[in-house]
Amino acid sequence: MKQASVHSQRRFKKIWLMSLFSLSLLLMIIGNLTRLTGSGLSMVNWEPIMGSIPPLNESQWQEDFQQYQEYPQYRIKNQAMTLSEFKFIFYFEYIHRILGRLVGLVALLPFLWLAAASRHIKGKELLQLGILPVLVGMQGFVGWYMVKSGLINVPEVSHFRLALHLFLALFFISYVFVLFLKYHYIKLAEPLAKHDPASYVSADMLAVLSKPALLFSWVFLALQTLYGVFMAGLRAGRVSADYPTMFGQFFPKEQFIGLADAKFGLLQFMFSHAVFIHFIHRHLGIITALIILFFVLSSLIKIYGWQQNQQNQHKPACEGRASMKVKVKTLYTAFFLLGAAVLLQPLVGILAILWHVPVSLAFVHFLLAIILLHLLLFVTWIQAK
């Protein structure tokens, strides 16, 4: 009975975390579309409670539209905007904020039930799950902190605050993903020999994988993601529409005039100069793809070689040793998908440049980045076990 109760609790946690992951992914997708459609600055007030209710009549819509007209996005960019056009961008941001509140509730209420009613989470697990609603609250505050930067003088949010907002979102959704994996892939209590050892990933198999290649993959992916956010925040994707050259040159030195400009210090040039950021992002993307692709191919070769060696020596796979309940087939699939994602991502990025960054390709580029991140996270999590 006790074992059945533990199994039921684990199942509840898996459903909760998968629901939270799915909602968080949807929130990130809507957030990306909100940015791409220029809708993020349409709601000029931050009202966590009353902000849940949209305008209900024409008078309220006019009032919100008049408030929007007082801020830079309307005065500088959208002076010809009609009320119906305002409603379109308003609803994008409104849905984004409502989803954020829903994610907060889904993070908080099941945790409170588990902590108070079931008494099945204590100590370390209590902290691991309890941080979820805290992170959602932090993300809401950072989101408003970001929006506020676009309501002062320039009708664009700070690309530094945008980076903070996105990286916190990526950390949250990745953390939820890892927690789900923890409950989904439980350690085998019995020896591997009782579970068809050749079918499951073992510690000896993982030992052949290259940790330096994995580390380099993460370092370059983090840098590439950072410059990708800067590209989005500064709308730097449109500064040059040719590839592989920029402005007809591989290294457009004439365009890097900001380095010699007294208004640009070195750090500001590296992190705020749109042309330089575009240059770094396009070439760093190729380098990052090659590094991850090397990690994928070398891992597949080493895993296959290890399996062949075990078969030739007629050895059981780590007999008697505990392992995570992850099938070798699942690991192979993850590596193949990671390889496909890392080949597609730069291709979509190049097409986006050549076609002046249409919303559709920018969205696909963003979605592929999330998929790539979580595939790499999955194989990293397995390797760490």
What is the pLDDT at residue 190?
Answer: 45
Helix, strand and coil in the chain, % to nearest 5: 75, 0, 25
pLDDT tens by residue, 150-182: 998 888 999 999 999 999 999 999 999 999 999
The mean per-residue pLDDT over the stretch 247-266 comes to 70
pLDDT score, position 315: 58
The whole-number pLDDT of residue 231 equals: 95
- Round the average pLDDT of the chain to a whole number and report it: 87
146 near 157, Cβ under 8 Å? yes
Question: Cα separation of 365 and 241, whole Å?
Answer: 16
Structure-model confidence comparison of residues 180 and 6, the more confident one: 180
pLDDT value at 72 more than 80: yes
From CA 383, how far away is CA 385, in angstroms rounded?
A: 5
| pLDDT greater than 60 at residue 192 | no
pLDDT of residue 116: 82
Domain boundaries, the chain: 1-184, 188-385
What's the pLDDT at 203?
Answer: 74
CA-angle at 276, arms to 272 and 277, nearest 5°: 60
pLDDT of residue 311: 75
Q: pLDDT of 333-379, one tens digit each? A: 999 999 999 999 999 999 999 999 999 999 999 999 999 999 999 99
pLDDT bracket for residue 230 (50, 70, 90): very high
**Is 324's pLDDT higher than 80?**
no
Plot region of 273 (φ>0 → left; ψ -120 to 50 → alpha; else → beta): beta
Of the pLDDT bands very low, low, confident and very high (cuts 50, 70, 90), residue 189 is very low
Per-residue confidence band for 1, with pLDDT thresholds at 50, 70 and 90: very low
* Ramachandran angles phi, psi of 136, nearest 5°: -65, -45
Element (H, E) at 257: none
